[in-house]
A and B are shown apart, each in its own frame.
Chain A
Amino acid sequence: GENVEQHPSTLSVQEGDSAVIKCTYSDSASNYFPWYKQELGKRPQLIIDIRSNVGEKKDQRIAVTLNKTAKHFSLHITETQPEDSAVYFCAARMYSSYKLIFGSGTRLLVRP
């Protein structure tokens, strides 16, 4: 079945350090991989996404990499800031389907 595993469940880093969150998906037909950030009490918001025809995408301090062969994708945040503290969710979706399968989330804490 469709499944997305996400690790770690919690991550604590010092301000200025990098943070990496990893996800693995089960359905090889998945071709769209968004990452959402959810602050406490707020809605999930898209921070970056990648399609299966691209191996890497970067947006300022945030980057996502995709390894289709291994069915892995990762979120990289550089020069972390306290405002990066939130729960991050990865997700996968097949082009022909419209449902997002989410990972279990990573609680990121950036210590000042």
Chain B
Amino acid sequence: KAGVTQTPRYLIKTRGQQVTLSCSPISGHRSVSWYQQTPGQGLQFLFEYFSETQRNKGNFPGRFSGRQFSNSRSEMNVSTLELGDSALYLCASRSDSNTEAFFGQGTRLTVV
């Protein structure tokens, strides 16, 4: 069974640009969550999707948004990038019957 797949693995963007990150969950998992990991702030929850609906949102500005498709794949978008958005973005998927969240390898975003 394939694990959680995130693309791209690395990304360099310029301030002011926007970026879209993709996450393909484990087959059969309908829940996808996104986290931002930085050395200073640790792992912070961004949002969680289930069956194409956002169920929870963390304390991030509106520049951070996401969506989920009917095949459970999820994307997150960050607009008007700031230097402080440089981070490792992790997604995790979970099955309906299990509490364990499986993480992808992450997308490392660098804003210059």
B99: Cβ under 8 A from any A Cβ: yes
> Are the CB atoms of B33 and A99 closer together than 8 Å?
yes
Contacts A98-B48, A99-B45, A99-B58 known; 8 new A-B pairs at CB < 8 A: A32-B99, A36-B103, A43-B103, A44-B90, A91-B43, A100-B35, A100-B43, A103-B42
Q: Would you call the interface of chain A mostly helix, strand, loop, or mixed?
A: strand
Question: What B residues does A43 contact at CB under 8 A?
Answer: 4, 90, 103-106
How far is A42 from B6 in the complex, measured between Cα atoms in Å? Answer: 13
B residues lining the A interface (CB < 8 Å): 4, 31, 33, 35, 42-45, 48, 50, 55-56, 58, 90, 94, 99-106
A residues lining the B interface (CB < 8 Å): 32, 34, 36, 42-46, 49, 51, 89, 91, 93, 97-105
Q: Which residue of B lies closest to A104 (CB)?
A: B42
Q: Which residue of A lies closest to B41 (CB)?
A: A104
- Within the complex, the shortest CB–CB distance from A29 to chain B, in Å, comes to 14
> Are the CB atoms of A100 and B104 closer together than 8 Å?
no
Q: Would you call the interface of chain B mostly helix, strand, loop, or mixed?
A: strand
Given contacts A44-B43, A103-B42, A104-B42, contact A98 B105 (CB under 8 A): no
> Are the CB atoms of A44 and B42 closer together than 8 Å?
no
> Are the CB atoms of B33 and A45 closer together than 8 Å?
no
Question: What A residues does B4 contact at CB under 8 A?
Answer: 43
Q: Which residue of B lies closest to A32 (CB)?
A: B99
- Within the complex, the shortest CB–CB distance from A91 to chain B, in Å, comes to 8
Question: What A residues does B101 contact at CB under 8 A?
Answer: 34, 46, 100
Question: What A residues does B42 contact at CB under 8 A?
Answer: 89, 102-105
Given contacts A44-B43, A103-B42, contact A98 B33 (CB under 8 A): yes
Given contacts A43-B105, A44-B90, A98-B31, contact A49 B56 (CB under 8 A): no
- Within the complex, the shortest CB–CB distance from A55 to chain B, in Å, comes to 18
Question: What B residues does A32 contact at CB under 8 A?
Answer: 99
Question: What B residues does A98 contact at CB under 8 A?
Answer: 31, 33, 48, 50, 55-56, 94
